Amino acid sequence: QAKGAGRNTARFFNPNMQKTIESRMALETALRQALFKGELQLFYQPQIDQNGRCFGAEALLRWRRPGHGLVAPLEFIPLAEETGLILPIGQWVMDTACAQIKAWEASERTRFLRMAVNVSARQFHQPDFVAQVQASLERYGANPHRLKLELTESVVLENAEQVVSRMNQLRALGVSFSMDDFGTGYSSLSYLKRLPLDQLKIDKSFIRDIATDPNDAAIVRAILAMSQSLGLEVVAEGIENEAQRRFLCENGCHRFQGYLLGKPKPIEEWETRPDLGADVDRTT
Site for ligand C2E in 1-40 (CB under 6 A): none
Note whether 183 binds ligand C2E by CB under 6 A: no
Output the smallest distance, CB 4 to ligand C2E, in A.
36
- Of 10-18, 31-39, 162-170, 252-260, the segment contacting ligand C2E by CB under 6 A is 252-260
Output the smallest distance, CB 226 to Mg ion, in A.
18
Output the smallest distance, CB 282 to ligand C2E, in A.
26
Q: Of 258 and 277, which has the nearer Cβ to ligand C2E?
A: 258
Note whether 240 binds ligand C2E by CB under 6 A: yes
Note whether 133 binds ligand C2E by CB under 6 A: no
CA distance 246 to 189: 26
Output the smallest distance, CB 21 to ligand C2E, in A.
24
Kindly tell me the sign of the dihedral angle through the C-alpha atoms of 9, 11, 14, 20.
Answer: negative
3-state secondary structure (DSSP) of residue 234: strand
- Rg over alpha carbons for the chain, rounded to the nearest Å, is 20
Interaction pattern, residues 79-118, with ligand C2E; x per rule: CB under 6 A: -----------x--x------------------------x
Output the smallest distance, CB 184 to Mg ion, in A.
8
Q: 82-93 b/e with 16+ CB inside 10 Å = b?
A: eeebbbebbbbb
Q: Are strands 114-118 and 69-71 parallel, antiparallel or unpaired?
A: unpaired
CA distance 255 to 280: 12
Q: How many residues bind Mg ion (CB under 5 A)?
A: 5
Cross-strand partners of 62: 41
Note whether 46 binds ligand C2E by CB under 6 A: no
Q: Which does 176 bind (CB under 5 to 8 A by kind): Mg ion, ligand C2E, none?
A: none
CA 43 to mean position of chain CA atoms: 12
Q: Of 12 and 259, which has the nearer Cβ to ligand C2E?
A: 259
Q: Of 49 and 150, which has the nearer Cβ to Mg ion?
A: 150
Cα atoms in the 13 Å half-sphere on the side-chain side of 57: 29
Selected from 119, 142, 143, 150, the binder of Mg ion by CB under 5 A is: 150
Q: Please give the span between the terminal C-alpha atoms of the chain, in angstroms, as a whole number.
A: 63
Q: Which does 73 bind (CB under 5 to 8 A by kind): ligand C2E, Mg ion, none?
A: ligand C2E
CA dist 272 → 71, 97, 200, 269 (Å): 25, 18, 28, 7
**Alpha helices, H only, the chain:** 2-12, 15-34, 77-83, 86-105, 121-124, 129-140, 153-156, 160-173, 188-192, 204-207, 214-230, 242-250, 267-270
The residue count for the chain: 284
Note whether 178 binds ligand C2E by CB under 6 A: no
Q: How many residues bind ligand C2E (CB under 6 A)?
A: 24
Residues that bind ligand C2E (CB under 6 A): 45, 60-61, 72-74, 77, 90, 93, 118-120, 150, 180-181, 204, 237-240, 257-259, 264
